[in-house]
Structure 1
Amino acid sequence: MKRYWKWAIAISIAVPVLLLVFLLATGERGLSSGKRSKPRTSFEPRDVATYQVTGPEAERLGWSADRLAAMLDYLSRLSADAFVIVTDGEIVASLGPLDTVYNVHSVRKAMLNAVVGQHVGDAPDELPLDATLEQLGIDDEPDPLTPLQRQATVLHLVRSMSGINHPAAAEGGLTADKDKRLGHDENQPGSVWAYNNWDYNALTTILEEQTGQSVAEAFKSGIADPLGFQDFSEESVSRSVELDLSQHPAAAFRLSARDLARFGQLYLDGGVVDGKAVLPATWIDRISNDYVDTGMPGLRGGHGYLWWIPDAETGLPEGSFFGWGLGQQAVFVVPVWDTVIVHQSDTTEFIKRWLNLQREGVDGDTALEQIVVECLQKGGPAIEFCREHRFTSRREFDGLISLIADARLSD
């Protein structure tokens, strides 16, 4: 039974990464290309509950009611399962049930930012940002780190700048961009940025060894409980360890939209909950003040302390940041608008279909292509799976962000 659960957890994390490999290869990268797309889709609205505030209330909160309605109509044609805009602590618009938990995939890095930020310090049970991997006793197996690589610091890991190109748990085949940026030789720590699961997993190990708590325990006691999460328990966090690649684990989260909104609100409120500091404001400020220019346009224009920084072409104002995961899982923090935006889509049926095709003898890449192309073809909108469970494409998500930005009244 234990072997089964280890396999199931590994599949739940690794399979979506393999899906993303295909989406990257076909141009559907799930994130903005940097151009404001004209929203369009051939799908009809789904039978899904939506809500928006009335006209006067929308205007009071800085939104156009008519344009919010257009945004929700468009959203209902995508495969979103839960969505909410919260401004000044009030729900402006929503879609679907907000209490259902979904795998948030790589939004997990934003969760890691929170628990790391709570434990930064020089005490024995804290994380010293300037400590090197060597000083903390961090290495790897079966591929050991070199002496130079062990000079990378905790801060380098947080900023995705260790320069270490090692295999990592929950990484799958998503290595092309990392290999391109880092190469296979040594890099001086801090000299090059790369979206690097090895950094995040090693950071997980350091957090757990320094604090004596698992990520699940640290997040529940430090974040979920103070924020009043309604749909979270320690079982909401699973671990993937692939010892043939690395000794460092990946921690995956399942969260509801309403709890994700509370999480985003923590950052919007400067880390304060009910008058008590839960997360240092200085730590939150680092996200938008100390980010790295990734060289990628659009939503991925910058990356700061495990959050993405969108550029101005997306329509989101300066100072915005967001956590993103496969299937367009996202939590946006938009301080200029005093707004949190959450978007979730259940990837379960997509993954089931992919695995079933392989059991029928179709190889993995062909199965992925078959599923994606089927929904993009002319008859796709008539297929129930495509209406309800397909992946929202990069272009569709661009359109959604564009409509959200257009629905905001001038500040």
Structure 2
Amino acid sequence: MEAAEVGQLPISSPQDEGFAADIGVVLDQAIVAKRIWNVHGLVVVRNGKVVLERYFEGEDRERGRGPVGRVAFTAQTLHDLRSCSKSIVGLLYGIALHQGKVPPPEAPLFSAFPEYADIADKNGRDRLTIYHALTMTMGSDWDETSFDYPDPRNSENAMDAAPDRYRYVLERPMIQTSGTYWTYCGGATALLARIITKGTSKTLHEYAREALFDPLGMGPTKWIAGMNGEPLASSGARMTPRDLARIGMLMLDGGRMGGREVVPAAWLTRCVTPAVSVDETRRYGYQWFLRDVAFGRPKGWAPGRLERMWVAQGYGGQRLFIIPALQLVIAVTSGNYGQEEQWKPPTRILNDVVLANLQ
């Protein structure tokens, strides 16, 4: 089947790109069996072509608004990316660095925040660099995982409620040596975004449109701001699953789209090079999760293949999976906020629907 255009993305049949012809049926069966639930959108791209694209109806909650009820999602419906936003900020920092608008990772962090000089040399903060923010190894007291996001004890919520969100992040007590341990920290992303906006003299969304979204041919997007007007850099981006998939396609092409370099290839390499371990299976680069994923059915005693995967992930089941060796991109949006097993639907889409049906 010849590729056709769907919103400027070519499409192809699953079998022409190496999938079982009934991959869509497998997805439907998993939903009926409730192994996959409240997924709102799915776009699977292989070899630069859309092979599976589905949208559903389900309960949703928007960042900054709360529950919005039941929504019938379509290819044009914007969706919260939540913490997938962090990975986008990581890419934007590299573009701004290439343009000479922000300091390099090796620069002292407080050199970008002279307005907070009163806390810069206290409690080991003088050792902080921008690299530590990029890799979430600042070593400061930050807890974004013990409490759900509506809980005021969650550090990201406390940052959003603070009169000065950047002072709040920068003055957290130092409890570890910078650069040694990974701590999930939306505050680190907020600092990176602030450096971008200071260096470019644009809002985060304005710069994202100019430097990344427009070159990728994206449709409408949003970046939610907090009550004080500051962008929710770590969790406020909104776009369609199709446009989220474009970011994966960009990364598979070494930062290029349509022959044009959008993200410098050298920066992209740094984003997806392991800098620190997250846990037994995951590593972290510059605002991107990295892990190995099993692929292929074992033959006899031979194990299946392990391939490197790059992941942007967000609260509620938002995911962008990118597997370079397979030229595969999977964008998932979901509404499973606050659920302990919110990770299961996107993971089962990856393993049981997509990889299990790649021949």
> Under TM normalisation by the shorter chain, which class is it?
0.7 to 0.9
Offset, 1:393:
3.3
State the partner residue of 1:27.
Answer: none
Whether 1:408 aligns to 2:358 is yes
Does the CA-based 8 Å contact 1:87-1:338 persist in structure 2?
yes
Q: 1:308 to 1:285 in 2, by over 3 A?
A: same
Whether 1:85 aligns to 2:74 is no
What are the within-5 Å matches in structure 2 for residues 50-61 of structure 1?
57-61=13-17
Does the CA-based 8 Å contact 2:42-2:241 persist in structure 1?
yes
Letter in structure 1 aligned against 2:284: H
Offset, 1:394:
3.2
Offset, 1:217:
1.1
2: CA distance, partners of 1:279 / 1:223:
8
State the partner residue of 1:258.
Answer: 242
**Structure 1 or 2: more strand by fraction:** 2
What are the within-5 Å matches in structure 2 for residues 238-277 of structure 1?
238-240=224-226, 250=233, 252-277=236-261
What are the within-5 Å matches in structure 2 for residues 1-400 of structure 1?
57-75=13-31, 77=34, 78-96=37-55, 97-121=74-98, 123=100, 125-137=101-113, 146=122, 148-165=124-141, 172-174=152-154, 185-232=174-221, 236-240=222-226, 250=233, 252-297=236-281, 301-312=282-293, 317-346=306-335, 393-400=342-349
Offset, 1:147:
5.5
2: CA distance, partners of 1:167 / 1:150:
22
Letter in structure 2 aligned against 1:393: Q
Can you give the 5+ residue segments of structure 1 that lack an aligned partner in the other structure? 1-52, 177-182, 351-367, 373-390
Does the CA-based 8 Å contact 1:231-1:259 persist in structure 2?
no
Give the SS at the match of 1:227: coil
Letter in structure 2 aligned against 1:149: R
Offset, 1:138:
5.0
Can you give the 5+ residue segments of structure 2 that lack an aligned partner in the other structure? 1-10, 56-73, 157-171, 297-304
Q: 1:203 to 1:241 in 2, by over 3 A?
A: farther
**Structure 1 or 2: more helix by fraction:** 1
* Corresponding residue pairs, total: 299
Q: 1:105 to 1:143 in 2, by over 3 A?
A: farther
2: CA distance, partners of 1:75 / 1:107:
24
2: CA distance, partners of 1:127 / 1:106:
24
Structure having greater relative contact order (Cα 8 Å, sep ≥ 6): 1
* TM-score normalised by the chain length of structure 2: 0.73
Q: 1:143 to 1:264 in 2, by over 3 A?
A: same
* TM-score normalised by the chain length of structure 1: 0.64
Give the SS at the match of 1:320: strand
Offset, 1:193:
1.4
Q: 1:67 to 1:225 in 2, by over 3 A?
A: closer
Alignment deviations for residues 264-308 of structure 1 (CA, whole Å, 9 cap, x no partner): 1111111112211110111112233234221244xxx12211111
Percent identical residues: 21
1: CA distance, partners of 2:203 / 2:342:
35
